[in-house]
Chains A and B, each alone.
Chain A
Amino acid sequence: MPLDNVVFWVFAPIAVASAIGMLFMRNAVHAALFLIVDFMCIAVMFLLLDAPFLFAVQIIVYAGAIMVLFLFVIMLLGVDRHENLREGLRGQRIAGVAIAVGVALEIGLAVRAGIGFGRHAAPSTLSGTAEALAKPLFTTYFFPFEVTSILLIVAAIAAMVLAQRKTKAVTLAESTAPIGERAAGPEESAP
């Protein structure tokens, strides 16, 4: 059994298992940890598919930055909240599972019908190194690449605006009024 296959058959079940684990964790932190494992496995898959640069990006951006962000938010909103896993909506559980299985099944069938399970990829000439990927990114796809940077800036500003704690503006009349007549309140007490 070639090394590739060994690696695949080791990490693929881990990926599926950790995904399912995330599905069943009541605690959001645990779900996030399982997701990190999953992302790691997918990163390994990238490596198997001759995409070493994406492998690195996957670990740094997804497993690193994004999941850390998730964990931050979970902390912010309270770690100890346990989701009640009892389903409130009638038929939601059965229908949800059916749809999920249906989607997976249909993808599987599409793959079987499209390329078949036995077919092996031709010896690859593909090189997904940073250097190789940089070439199209900074030539053909230069414009979309720069647009993504604008997108990220906009997203950052949007996040700041959305998450900002709204403070009531203190009018001049209120600020110059005698202390005792001002409305008491934590936000308004500071001039």
Chain B
Amino acid sequence: MRTPIAFFLVLSGILFGVGTAGVLLRKNALVIFMSVELQLNAVNLALVAFARMHGDLRGQVLAFFSMIVAAAEVVVGLAIIVAVYRRRLSVNVDDSRELRG
């Protein structure tokens, strides 16, 4: 007997929900970014779980690609945060509200 796939999926859903909460509730851009990474990882977990469920390696391949893209995204995202910090001396996302109507 092995662990039901559903458990992994539920775990993935819970982690994704926590990541969502992090994005919505935190104000530090870095922590928000970390939460986004958590969401990505939750999705990766779901992908790998589906690969296991269907016995199809392509799920893992997609998860692999998603990791690479996440790595690139982190690099650029962190650079943007640094650049914004240089201008405003703040990583609080609530400090940037130029789009206010």
Give A contacts to B, CB under 8 Å.
Answer: 2, 4-5, 8, 12, 15-16, 19-20, 22-23, 25, 28, 31-32, 35, 38-39, 42, 45-46, 48-51, 53-54, 57-58, 61-62, 65-66, 69-70, 73-74, 76-77, 81, 83-84, 87-89, 92-93, 95-97, 99-101, 103-108, 111-112, 115-122, 124-126, 128, 132-133, 136-137, 141, 144-145, 148, 151-152, 154-156, 158-163, 165
Contacts and interface: CB of A to CB of B under 8 A. Distances in A.
A108 B78 contact: no
B20 A107 contact: no
Given A4-B1, A105-B17, A155-B72, 11 more contacts: A2-B3, A20-B18, A54-B48, A54-B63, A70-B74, A74-B30, A99-B20, A100-B18, A115-B6, A124-B55, A133-B61
Contacts of B64: 53-54, 57, 133, 137
Nearest to B20: A100
B92 to A, nearest CB: 8
Contact of B82 (A19, A88, A162): A162
Interface in B4-49: 4-22, 24-28, 30-31, 33-35, 37-38, 41-42, 44-45, 48-49
A99 B8 CA distance: 21
